[in-house]
Every structure is written in C-alpha cells, then in structure tokens.
Homo-oligomer: A and B are copies of this chain.
Amino acid sequence: MFFASDNWAGAHPSVAANLSRHAAGFMSAYGSSDLDRQVERTFCDVFEREVAVFFVGTGTAANALSMTMLARPGGVFFAHRDAHMIADEGGAVEYLSGGGRLAPVDGPLGRMTPQALEAGIARYPAAFVHSGQPAAVSITQASEIGTLYGTADIEAIAAVAARNGVALHMDGARFANALVALGITAAEMTWKRGVDIVSFGGTKNGCWCAEAVVVMNPGDPGRAGQFPFIRKRAAQLFSKSRFVAAQFEAYFRDGLWLETARRSNAMAQRLAAHVRASAKARLAWEPQANEVFPVLKRDVAEKLKAAGAVFYPWHPPREIAGTVAGDEILVRLVTSFATAPDEVDRFGELLA
C-alpha cells in the first residue's frame, strides 16, 4: 500500500526493456544521436506542430531552466502559492535564473485565478524600476493537489500573461494524468490555449528520469535558440542522452504514456470510492488526476500506517483549513502506473 508518491514507483517494464535494448552499441553523444532526433520528431507529432525539445534530468531542472530562459533583470515569476517551484524545489528557480523572484498567486484548490494573477502582476508595474518586472507565469497541470485547469481556465490565464507581455509556462510533471483526465490532446491543452513552454514530465508516469522542456516556438532565437547553452551551463546535458531518448521512445510507443496515466487516474478514483464509502474518512475535494486527499481521524491514520499503508500528511490549503478538526488530519494518497488494484482495495477494507 505505497501511496507516498508516484516517484516511489520504479520504471514501467516497457521503459526498462527499452533501456536494455539500447544499452549496446555506439551512438553519438550529447543529444546528437539518431535516436534523440527521432524522439524529438515524436514530440512534434504529439504536440501536432514543430516544437523544440530539450531533455533534462529532473522536473526541477525543467522548471528552473524554463524560468531561466524567460528571466529578466529584476524579474518575477508568478506561480500558485503551493506550486512545486515555490514549495519543493529548494530554491532552484531563484538560483538558476540568476536571482529571479517567485511571487505566489492565490486561488482555491491549487489553481491560480486570472484575477489573482492580474492583481499579482499589477504589483510590479512595468515602468517602476524599484519593484522589478514581471518575467513569466507558470501553472501546474495537474496541480500539486490533483486538480485541473480546464481549457477555458488556461485560456483566461494566458490572456492575462499576454496582456502583460510575459510568457506562459506549464509545469507538466503530471502532464499525462491531466491530459487523459480532460480527454483532450496535448495541443489542445497547451499552445492552442496560449501555453508557450512546457515542462514535460515522464518520470512520475513510468520513466525513471525522463523530463523535457518543450518550447512551442522553436524558431525564437532568444529562447529556444539559447536553450542549448542554458542547459549545458546548468550541467543538464547528458553525454549518454540516448538513455533519456530511449525512455521517451518507449513512453510514447503505442500510447503507453496515456495508458499508464489512465491506470494511475483510475486507481485514484478507486481509492476515492473507498473513501466516499467509508464512515471514517471524507474527501477534502474531488480528485481529478492521480492524487486523493482524504481527511481522516488521526487514530485512523495511525492504524492505516500500522497496517502497512505508506502516505504523507498534507498541509491543508487555506480554503479548507477550517474544516479539518483538531483530531483530524489531511493526508495525500498518490497512485501511479504501478499501483495495484488489490492494494487499493486492501486500503479500502482497512477504511471500511
């Protein structure tokens, strides 16, 4: 019953097999092999347009180097107050971007509102040098707490970003989970809504370390054109880049990535059903991707742990904090491609 995080899972068997398949033989290094080229083409197919694709080693690298590409002197990056960039990346954005600032934007259940974004940007008026200047907006899809921006939400945020002259980035550490939940295409979730750059994550969904920065406008000399230097300088250019490519090759083949995301989301819904059916727990909000957040009595949580369930407590978002009683605890349950229905049901039985 491992629900601690989707990164506690290993690699999907198809990904592991493909790594082995490409282990032998010689290939040119640093992203210049035929396999790298071919996987880049697959990204263009997935996004239904020419895109520039840059493999990096971690989701934090994808996010922080995306922001670095968009940095300005005295620049400010706007993200939801609970975004991974703000809460869990150890200052990587600030450091790698040369001292950019992360400005937290409010919004219920892990998603910024266009109004809050507009108000946040307004604190950095363009002509007022003392405050600094807006540099980029980043949204997380699926969010840190398993909620989703709808396409209209993304469009509204993109409009605010565009009006203020800054680019829109999507932290897609759980891109596939969001995609299959919304039932739309990658194009529909990104550039057709005004997203300029995506941190495209494969790691949480069956790879072991496959992340990519995807730039929708590959011809931009100041962004995509500079990214090879940005990546190299940040020590994120892998010599045996083939192995990242190999992961993505398996990931995309025959729609594996969508299948693993669907399974992961389905396990979350199965967990949610158990919570709904239980008298000992309630859902803090409806899960939309692969994360479930029940509120439990503290003693119930302890019993679950004692029975072998692994999960983390979660700091209640401001808007629900008042609803968690003193003897209760909000916890996070994360499912993945590797989550077994049996384990979910065992957890359900313990809750019943």
Q: A19-B20, A57-B238, A208-B243 are in contact. Are A94 and B101 (CB under 8 A)?
A: yes
Please tell me if A279 contacts chain B, counting CB pairs below 8 Å: no
Please give, as numbers and ranges, the residues of chain B lying within 8 Å of A91 by CB-CB distance.
Answer: 73-76, 99-101, 132, 229, 232-233
Please give, as numbers and ranges, the residues of chain B lying within 8 Å of A160 by CB-CB distance.
Answer: none
Please give, as numbers and ranges, the residues of chain B lying within 8 Å of A13 by CB-CB distance.
Answer: 23-24
Mark contacts of A152-195 with chain B using CB atoms, 8 A cut-off: 1 yes-contact digit, 0 otherwise: 00000000000000000000000000000000000000000000
Please give, as numbers and ranges, the residues of chain B lying within 8 Å of A132 by CB-CB distance.
Answer: 90-91, 229, 233
Please give, as numbers and ranges, the residues of chain B lying within 8 Å of A76 by CB-CB distance.
Answer: 91
A293 to B138, CA, bound (A): 37
Please give, as numbers and ranges, the residues of chain B lying within 8 Å of A57 by CB-CB distance.
Answer: 57-58, 209, 235-236, 238
Q: How far is the CB of A339 from chain B (nearest CB, A)?
A: 9
Please give, as numbers and ranges, the residues of chain B lying within 8 Å of A11 by CB-CB distance.
Answer: 19, 23, 240, 243
Mark contacts of A59-79 with chain B using CB atoms, 8 A cut-off: 1 yes-contact digit, 0 otherwise: 111001100100011111000
Q: Is the CB of A240 within 8 A of B95?
A: no
- Total interface residues in chain A, CB < 8 Å: 80
A65 to B15, CA, bound (A): 30
Please tell me if A306 contacts chain B, counting CB pairs below 8 Å: no
Q: How far is the CB of A287 from chain B (nearest CB, A)?
A: 20
A95 to B99, CA, bound (A): 4
Q: Is the CB of B72 within 8 A of A232?
A: no
Q: How far is the CB of A38 from chain B (nearest CB, A)?
A: 16
Nearest residue, chain B, Cβ from A5: B29
Q: How far is the CB of A1 from chain B (nearest CB, A)?
A: 10
A72 to B229, CA, bound (A): 8
Q: Which of A205-253 contact B (CB under 8 A)?
A: 208-209, 222, 226, 228-230, 232-240, 242-243
A-B contact pairs, 7 of them (CB 8 A): A10-B23, A11-B19, A26-B338, A57-B58, A61-B235, A91-B101, A91-B229
Q: What is A's interface to B at a CB cutoff of 8 Å?
A: 2, 4-5, 7-13, 15-17, 19-20, 22-30, 56-61, 64-65, 68, 72-76, 87-92, 94-102, 129-133, 203-204, 208-209, 222, 226, 228-230, 232-240, 242-243, 310, 338
Q: Identify the 9 closest CB pairs spanning chains A and B, nearest first.
A: A95-B99, A90-B232, A61-B235, A7-B239, A73-B229, A16-B23, A74-B91, A2-B26, A94-B99
